[in-house]
Amino acid sequence: MSSRIDGVTQVRDTTALAAALEAVLFTLNRAVTVLELQDILQSPLPDIEAAAAGLVEVLKGRGLFLQRHQDQLQLVTDPAQADVVRRVLRPEYPSRLSPAAYETLAIIAYRQPLTRARIEEIRGVNCEAVLESLEEKGLITETGRLDAPGTPRLFGTTMKFLQILGLSGLDELPPLPQSASTSS
């Protein structure tokens, strides 16, 4: 069911809102924040969340899926279709990451947000160059500043990180072994 208020059609049915959400994400072809979607779809947050959950179900077994990173949503190609898409697009392969970059990226992915000092404490080595490289590649970004002397930057992963790994969200990361998750 939908109604017009102030010249804007408001969608109230979850199925219709999921279809509208899919159309918006398809059209924009980028990550969109939930707040942007509220404004675009003129719907309250709980309805947007319900529509997103519905869209996840509708897309199961199809060529697309809904990817979520924190408050951002994006419609992306199902990683199971990567070989087909790669043959069609023949993209340039991204440069390989060093073992230090993989290790740093894993630390950030599982423990974000983190400061450079905390990452260096965990790794036991200086990470400045590795962090710059990961940031240049768009795999990590500054997510804020720590309320501490010097207000150090906090790092977190990006939507591109999820896309490269073929994950719909951070909750799909494999669990850490017990010994690794308890040694914080």
73 and 106, same domain (yes or no): no
Question: β-pairing, 2-5 with 8-11?
Answer: antiparallel
Average pLDDT taken over every residue of the chain: 86
Percent of the chain with pLDDT over 70: 86
CA distance linking residue 117 with residue 32, whole number of Å:
31
- Number of domains the chain is built from: 2
Of the ranges 79-83, 97-101, 120-124, 158-162, the best mean pLDDT one: 120-124
Question: CA 139, 146, 70: angle at the middle one, nearest 5?
Answer: 45
CA distance linking residue 44 with residue 85, whole number of Å:
35
62 and 116, same domain (yes or no): no
Residue 1: is its pLDDT beyond 50? Answer: no
73 and 108, same domain (yes or no): no
Note the pLDDT of residue 67. 92
Q: Are 134 and 119 in contact (CB under 8 A)?
A: no
26 and 70, same domain (yes or no): yes
Residue 28: which CATH number?
1.10.10.10
73 and 116, same domain (yes or no): no
**42: closest CA among 70, 86, 22, 12?**
12
pLDDT in tens, 7-31: 444 445 889 999 999 999 999 989 9
Does some domain include residue 90? Answer: no
Note the pLDDT of residue 181. 53
Note the pLDDT of residue 149. 94
73 and 109, same domain (yes or no): no
Q: Are 131 and 119 in contact (CB under 8 A)?
A: yes
Which residue range forms the structural domain that includes residue 66? Answer: 2-80
Q: Are 72 and 33 in contact (CB under 8 A)?
A: yes
Question: CA 166, 168, 172: angle at the middle one, nearest 5?
Answer: 90
106 and 65, same domain (yes or no): no
Note the pLDDT of residue 30. 93
End-of-domain residue from the set 46, 80, 114 = 80
Residue 59: is its pLDDT beyond 90? Answer: yes
106 and 177, same domain (yes or no): yes
116 and 163, same domain (yes or no): yes
Does some domain include residue 161? Answer: yes
Does some domain include residue 104? Answer: yes
76 and 104, same domain (yes or no): no
70 and 122, same domain (yes or no): no
